[in-house]
Amino acid sequence: MAKAERILIVDDDEDAADFAARFLKSEGYEVRRAGSGPEALRLVARRPFDLVLLDVRMPAMDGSQVLDELLAGPRAPAVLVFTGDHGADPRIRAMTRRSAGIVLKPFKLNELRRLIQRALKGRAR
Amino acid sequence: MSGRKNPLSAAQAPAADTFKILAEESPNVIFINKMGSVVYANKKAVDLMGYSREEFYAPDFDFMSLVAPEFHARTRRNLKMHMRGREVPPFEYAIMTKDGRKIEAIIATKLVAYEGGAAILGVVTDVSRLKRAEAQLRRSEERWRSLLEQSVSHITIVGPDERIEFMNRRPSGRDVREAVGRPICEFMAPESHPALRAAIRRAFMGREPSTLELIAEVKGRRWWFQTHVGPICDGDSVHSVVLSSVDITDAKKAEDGLRQAQKLASLGRLSAGLAHEINNPLSALSGEVQMVLERARDPKLAASLRFMGRVSSRIENIVKGLLEFSRQDPAADRQPVRIHDVLERTLKLVERRMRLAGIRVVQRYGRPMPLLHANRGQLEQVFMNVILNSRDAMPGGGVLTVSTRKAPGGFVEVAVSDTGAGIAREHLDHVFEPFFSTKDPGRGTGLGLPISHGIVSRHGGTIRISSEAGRGARVFVRLPVAHGGNGKGNGKG
């Protein structure tokens, strides 16, 4: 079996991040968590990720700023916007346009599976 | 007077001198005219007319020069009647002074015996002052009347029994005569009665003026007034109270609209924050339930987890509604839309439900209607919410009327009215707030109208409800016409 794809979950909400991490681990991914934007960027700088699940509303650094940094860096990961806000919020729409997609919290597990697979496939190309 | 006997007995009769003094000092002009010549003129005659006694008594003095030309004919007629021995009633005329001034006066004449012959005794009273005062009074009255009639203020005078004694205008434009004599409270909203009564009482008792805000109400229509209530005093007593009111309805409505908008905006922010805070832990909870369910082997455990999943979905839907309500972004995915197509589609979707509820649908469409630039699905959601609310208001059946018209300012207005129970006035202000519902628990989410309000606002339109308890409700939705939409209805793709 090929080496597991690396996923970074960036979310300041402990419970949401905790569940997502356990679920994705159980799906066979290698998962790391970051509670803030700066922490996420440190982890990414240390070792690249294949995919980032990125919350929008976070203290210290807003999701869209983190997205800028992620996309600007070498070996940019696929990014899925990961939010509890309305998907039609102009700020979120703008982020979604620059990402591989959006996961609205709460989500159906199959929906998350499908979106992650698609995002990873898109990146492999 | 003339017919009465002299009350003084002959023995006590004053000497002729006394009368002469009386005549001399009289505040009226007194003269005696014998055969056309003035044979006596008193001091007042000299003072008022400006002729000396020598001039009066001169043989060639023209008596008629003392009379204003327009009264010459009348005066000659009177003189002739006297010559024939007949009395003449006093009359109003004008005298001419030597320097050409005209003075309004009343003249009373009497035939008397004078130095062995008949003569005319005349008493002339200057009434010019009186006339001037009268004219002044009339002018002043005119001035007050036009002041009242043309005043933008509403002036009402009320008696001690709270009945209207005078009113310069009515807000409804109806005839004031219908209101005079009726208790003022008949024309006021019930919530204004206590304050108004207290102010009237205060004015009558303590004579203290007061300023208050009142609501007039006639046949369900309301007007807001800033009113000053003060006493009208007559010496020591207050005989009535005057209410001077300025119509502040427009300002009040604008203020209410602003307050409503601010309230909904802050509720929107609260909803958005709340939804965000719930969605994060909820995603963990719902995900966990799904994950465990996928692995559950025990059917009882699976059933229990499915139940948790359903409850979780319910919470998700409520939160989704809150998020929908809180949206501020301008409506997206807009296209040229015919309002009648939207209404037709929505009515088709609810057709069966309306029939089952015993509701007749009446459509009154204005044609042609300009195109809208709108999100069709969202508009359908709005009218679906509004129409289903109407259905819920008519559990025993009724009539639902959907009408359209062009509204001023480049809008299309859709009015949806029902014949249901209506909405109480105190509830009207709250119908667009999330979870404000007077329906039975479990009916609807309490988010239908708030979300509709959000959708209409994000289209640049307005939604408004008017109702009276027991008389049904009317919902007015105004949506801006598409740029270049001019009623032809042949929109570009």
Residue A16 is nearest to which of B275, B280, B332, comparing CB atoms?
A: B280
Tens of pLDDT, residue by residue over B86-125, are 889 999 999 999 999 999 999 999 988 888 888 999 999 9
Residue A19 is nearest to which of B287, B323, B329, comparing CB atoms?
A: B287
Inter-chain residue contact A84 with B312, CB threshold 8 Å? no
Q: How far is A74 from chain B (nearest CA, A)?
A: 31
Q: Which residue of A has its CA nearest to B278?
A: A84
Residues B311, B340: one domain? no
Domain assignment present for residue B2? The answer is no
pLDDT class of A89 with cuts at 50, 70, 90: confident
Residue B1 has what pLDDT?
Answer: 44
Tens of pLDDT, residue by residue over B21-35, are 889 999 999 999 988
Number of domains in chain A: 1
Written as six digits, the tokens of B379 are: 């508009």
Residue B257 has what pLDDT?
Answer: 85
Residue B13 has what pLDDT?
Answer: 62
Q: Inform me whether the C-beta atom of residue A84 falls under 8 Å from chain B C-beta atoms.
A: yes
Residues B407, B448: one domain? yes
Which positions 231-290 of B are in contact with A (Cβ < 8 Å)? 272, 275-288, 290
Residue B4 pLDDT > 80 = no
Domain boundary (B291, B325, B359) is at: B325
Domain assignment present for residue B488? The answer is no
Whether cis (ω within 30° of 0) applies to the bond prior to B231 is no
Tens of pLDDT, residue by residue over A5-19, are 999 999 999 999 999
| Rounded mean pLDDT, A53-82 | 93
Residue B309 has what pLDDT?
Answer: 96
For residues B439 and B422, the model is more confident at: B422
Residue A114 has what pLDDT?
Answer: 96
B32's enclosing H/E stretch is: strand B29-34
Residue B147 pLDDT > 60 = yes
Q: Which of B175, B100, B164, B92 is nearest to B128 (CA)?
A: B92
Residues B295, B352: one domain? no
Domain assignment present for residue B136? The answer is no
pLDDT class of B461 with cuts at 50, 70, 90: very high
Domain assignment present for residue B155? The answer is yes
Q: Inform me whether the C-beta atom of residue B291 falls under 8 Å from chain A C-beta atoms.
A: yes
The percent of residues in chain B predicted with pLDDT above 90, rounded, is: 65
Tens of pLDDT, residue by residue over A21-52, are 999 999 999 999 999 999 999 999 999 999 99
Residue B162 pLDDT > 80 = yes
DSSP state of B138: H
Domain boundary (B97, B131, B165) is at: B131
Residue B485 has what pLDDT?
Answer: 47
Highest average pLDDT, of A50-54, B140-144, B152-156, comes from A50-54
Q: CA B249 to CA B394: how far, in whole Å?
A: 32
Residue B442 has what pLDDT?
Answer: 57
Inter-chain residue contact A16 with B294, CB threshold 8 Å? no
Inter-chain residue contact B284 with A107, CB threshold 8 Å? no
Domain assignment present for residue A1? The answer is no
Inter-chain residue contact A89 with B287, CB threshold 8 Å? no
Inter-chain residue contact B287 with A85, CB threshold 8 Å? no
Range of the domain at B296: 252-325
Domain assignment present for residue A34? The answer is yes
For residues B412 and B63, the model is more confident at: B412
Residues B284, B355: one domain? no
Mean residue pLDDT across chain B: 89
Residues B312, B366: one domain? no
Residue B489 pLDDT > 60 = no
Residue B252 pLDDT > 80 = yes
**What radius of gyration, in Å, describes the C-alpha atoms of chain A?**
13
Flag whether the ipTM exceeds 0.90.
Answer: yes
Inter-chain residue contact B327 with A86, CB threshold 8 Å? yes
Residue B465 has what pLDDT?
Answer: 93
Number of domains in chain B: 4
Task: From chain B, pick out residues whose CB is under 8 angstroms from the CB of A22.
Answer: 291
What crossing angle do the helices spanning A90-97 and A63-72 adopt, rounded to 10°?
10
Residues B351, B321: one domain? no
Q: Is A116 helix (H, G, I), strand (E, B) or coil?
A: helix
Residue B304 has what pLDDT?
Answer: 96
Residue A89 is nearest to which of B278, B294, B329, comparing CB atoms?
A: B329
Residue B2 has what pLDDT?
Answer: 46
Residue A106 is nearest to which of B283, B294, B326, comparing CB atoms?
A: B283
Residue B14 pLDDT > 70 = no
How far is Cα of residue A100 from the mean position of the Cα atoms in its chain? Answer: 10
Q: Inform me whether the C-beta atom of residue A108 falls under 8 Å from chain B C-beta atoms.
A: yes
Residue B198 pLDDT > 90 = yes
Domain boundary (B247, B269, B299) is at: B247
pLDDT class of B487 with cuts at 50, 70, 90: very low
Task: From chain A, pick out residues whose CB is under 8 angstroms from the CB of B326.
Answer: 86
Q: CA A86 to CA B227: how far, in whole Å?
A: 48
Residue B138 pLDDT > 90 = yes
Residue B174 pLDDT > 90 = no
Residue B105 has what pLDDT?
Answer: 94
Inter-chain residue contact B281 with A15, CB threshold 8 Å? yes
Q: Inform me whether the C-beta atom of residue A16 falls under 8 Å from chain B C-beta atoms.
A: yes
Residue B179 pLDDT > 70 = yes
DSSP per residue, B63-112: GGGGB-GGGHHHHHHHHHHHHTT-----EEEEEE-TTS-EEEEEEEEEEE
Residue B451 has what pLDDT?
Answer: 92
Domain assignment present for residue A91? The answer is yes
Residue B3 has what pLDDT?
Answer: 47
Look up the pTM and report it: 0.65
Residues B242, B256: one domain? no
pLDDT class of B11 with cuts at 50, 70, 90: low
Residues B305, B339: one domain? no
Task: From chain B, pick out residues whose CB is under 8 angstroms from the CB of A13.
Answer: 280-281
Residue B490 has what pLDDT?
Answer: 40
We report the CATH number of the domain holding residue B72 as: 3.30.450.20
Residue B440 has what pLDDT?
Answer: 63
Q: CA B196 to CA B201: how far, in whole Å?
A: 9
Residue B469 pLDDT > 80 = no
We report the CATH number of the domain holding residue A17 as: 3.40.50.2300
